[in-house]
């Protein structure tokens, strides 16, 4: 059973960057399709992007194109999501999750709260 | 982008009630519809995928139905642990999109 452990909460200034990590255990990252989603306080879920095994590439939601980079270190089975040029509306809990069974998500990490404030 | 619309946005129900949540897609998504349950401060949990397939370990009181643009999540007999927010998600096209959520509260 795959388990995902995310890095701790972050507080960032507007205009800076944040890099959130997600370590997978129970399976090699090379066998998984890792995705990132976020949830602003009191709001719904938003997909940011993830690995598309059909094309062998990472795809990003257009909303985040140019600001987000998702990478993987297969030697440590750790995935990373870096978001640049942070704004106050990027304040959210960021989740990593595994896409299975035609892109539903299971399991999820516990989430990483990123607060963007001056 | 495919828009997902859930209704109602919230509902109050009692233990033992039958609860139905609907999700409508802005275009046909075949059966590429998934349902999640989220409790406060927790990550979402997959309940149902491909519109009607119960995820392993999920109680059988949860059922999903529908295809095309209209989908339903039904809880046959609401239990205390079912009070939560429920989200639908389409996995037909990128960007993958979610409904706005339905909060199920105690009456």
Kindly report the average pLDDT of chain A as a whole number: 96
Query: What is the sign of the dihedral through the CA atoms of B44, B89, B57 and A35?
Result: negative
Pairing, β A57-60 against β A112-116: unpaired
Cβ pair A105:B94 closer than 8 A: no
Q: What distance in Å separates residue B91's CA from the closest CA in chain A?
A: 6
Question: Which residues on A lie below 8 Å from B100 (Cβ)?
Answer: 44
> pLDDT for A48-89, tens place per residue?
999 998 888 999 999 999 999 999 999 999 999 999 999 999
Question: Which residues on A lie below 8 Å from B97 (Cβ)?
Answer: 47
Whether residue A12 has pLDDT greater than 90: yes
Cβ pair B45:A46 closer than 8 A: no
Cβ pair A102:B95 closer than 8 A: no
Q: Note if the bond before B12 is cis, omega within 30 degrees.
A: no
Name the band, by pLDDT with cuts 50, 70 and 90, for residue B38: very high
Q: What percentage of chain A carries pLDDT values higher than 70?
A: 100
Q: Note if the bond before B81 is cis, omega within 30 degrees.
A: no
Beta-bridge partners for B71:
B23, B66
pLDDT of residue A55: 86
Question: Is B54 touching A (CB cutoff 8 A)?
Answer: no
Contacts of A51 (CB under 8 A, 6+ apart): A32, A33, A34, A35, A57, A58, A59, A70, A72, A99
* Token pair of A25 as six digits: 């255990």
Question: Which residues on B lie below 8 Å from A111 (Cβ)?
Answer: 43
């Amino acid at each position: 059973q795959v388990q995902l452990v995310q890095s701790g909460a972050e507080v960032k200034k507007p205009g800076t960057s944040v890099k959130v990590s997600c370590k997978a255990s129970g399976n090699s990252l090379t066998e998984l399709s890792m995705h990132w989603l976020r949830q602003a306080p009191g709001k719904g879920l938003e997909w940011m992007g993830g690995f598309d095994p059909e094309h062998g590439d990472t795809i990003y939601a257009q909303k985040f194109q140019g600001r987000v980079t998702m990478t993987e270190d297969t030697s440590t089975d750790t995935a990373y999501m870096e978001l640049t040029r942070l704004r106050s509306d990027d304040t959210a809990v960021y989740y990593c999750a595994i896409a299975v069974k035609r892109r539903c998500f299971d399991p999820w990490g516990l989430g990483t709260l990123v607060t963007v404030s001056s | 982008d495919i828009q997902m619309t859930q209704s109602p946005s919230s509902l109050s129900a009692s233990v033992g009630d039958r609860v139905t949540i609907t999700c409508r897609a802005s275009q046909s998504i075949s059966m590429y519809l998934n349902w999640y349950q989220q409790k406060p401060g927790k990550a979402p949990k997959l309940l149902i995928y491909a519109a009607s397939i119960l995820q392993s370990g999920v109680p059988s009181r949860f059922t999903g139905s529908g295809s095309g643009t209209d989908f339903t999540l039904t809880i046959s007999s609401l239990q205390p642990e079912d009070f939560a927010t429920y989200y639908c998600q389409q996995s037909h096209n990128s960007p993958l999109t979610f409904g706005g959520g339905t909060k199920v509260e105690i009456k």
